[in-house]
Amino acid sequence: MSMSKKYAFPIILVFLLMLWNQGTIFAYAQRGPPVTSVRVIPIYGADVGFNIHCKSSSGVDLGHHLIVKGETYGIDITPSLPGKTIYVCSVQWQGRGVAFVIYSENRDYNNRCNNLCLWAVREDGVVGQREDAHGLDFDLHFPWTQ
């Protein structure tokens, strides 16, 4: 057995212990993986609620929810595989509906919304807002298809 192979494991162990001692590994363990909050709110004049049903690309069904004016629908997303986390939702409101990708890690993370993805249900469809946008500046629009 060569000298480098013989001492590889102890060297790696000492390196990891040094990182632990400096708090590098401990800080990540405390902080955990990144989480993005996705929120959907109604911003229309009618007092009628909207229905929303979301599923993840990994097959997790988040169920059907009725959201009335003044309430918010929310999902907290922790990416599972880099670039692979996707959530699709369908929204129905006053006989109209639309299905859309509410969160795509490739589209949203490190681009549109690292911490908060804000969506709104309006008379003309569902709109999405960048995290750094101000006011009613929406960058995505999914008009009603039904």
List the structure tokens of 101.
């990708």
Q: Report the pLDDT value the prediction gives residue 115, as an integer from 0 to 100.
A: 87
Please choose, from the candidates 111, 117, 101, the residue with its C-alpha nearest in 3D space to the C-alpha of residue 36: 117
Q: Are 41 and 111 contained in the same domain?
A: yes
Which residue did the predictor score with more confidence, 134 or 66?
Answer: 66
**130 touches 85 (CB < 8 A):** no
Q: Enter the DSSP assignment of 113.
A: -
Question: Over the chain, what is the mean pLDDT?
Answer: 81
Q: Are 86 and 53 contained in the same domain?
A: yes
Q: Are 59 and 9 contained in the same domain?
A: no
- HSE at residue 3, side-chain half, CA atoms within 13 A, is 0
How many structural domains is the chain composed of? 2
Q: Are 91 and 22 contained in the same domain?
A: no
Q: Report the pLDDT value the prediction gives residue 130, as an integer from 0 to 100.
A: 86
Which residue did the predictor score with more confidence, 81 or 123?
Answer: 123
**102 touches 84 (CB < 8 A):** no
Residues listed for the chain: 146
Q: Enter the DSSP assignment of 76.
A: E
User: C-alpha 38: how far from its chain's center?
Assistant: 5
CATH number for the domain spanning 115: value is 2.60.40.10
Q: Are 44 and 19 contained in the same domain?
A: no
Q: Are 49 and 97 contained in the same domain?
A: yes
Query: Domain residues for 10?
Result: 1-32
Q: Report the pLDDT value the prediction gives residue 35, as an integer from 0 to 100.
A: 85
User: C-alpha 41: how far from its chain's center?
Assistant: 15
Q: Are 64 and 40 contained in the same domain?
A: yes
Residue 76 pLDDT exceeds 70? yes
